[in-house]
């Protein structure tokens, strides 16, 4: 059986893709000017935040796909 995404689903998936890009950009930008000990101190917290956001996005994506039959 073929399934198609509705325009609303397509828009929501695009928004989730955008959230993923923003999360990675925020991670990169938060660390881009840091060096040495300052980088080391900030990186773990930034990585944890990135991973939390990516988990949220993936959970939302899976829920959306399950609801829409994708």
pLDDT-derived band of residue 70, with 50, 70 and 90 as boundaries? low
Taking alpha carbons only, the member of 24, 20, 43, 22 closest to residue 33 is 43
Q: What are phi and psi of 4, to 5 degrees?
A: -125, 145
CB-based contacts of 42, cutoff 8 Å, min separation 6: 30, 31, 34
> And the tokens for 46?
């930034």
Given the structure tokens 């990585």, which residue do they identify? 47
Find the domain containing 67 and state its range: 1-28+44-70
> And the tokens for 59?
């959970």
- 68 falls within a domain: yes
- 66 falls within a domain: yes
pLDDT in tens, 6-53: 778 899 999 999 999 999 999 999 999 999 999 999 999 999 999 999
Domains of the chain: total: 1
- 37 falls within a domain: no
């Amino acid at each position: 059986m073929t399934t198609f995404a509705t325009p609303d689903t397509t828009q929501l998936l695009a928004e989730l893709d955008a959230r993923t890009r923003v999360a990675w950009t925020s991670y990169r930008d938060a660390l881009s000017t840091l060096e040495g000990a300052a980088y080391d101190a900030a990186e773990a917290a930034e990585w944890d935040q990135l991973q939390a956001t990516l988990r949220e996005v993936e959970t939302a994506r899976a829920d959306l796909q399950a609801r829409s039959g994708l």
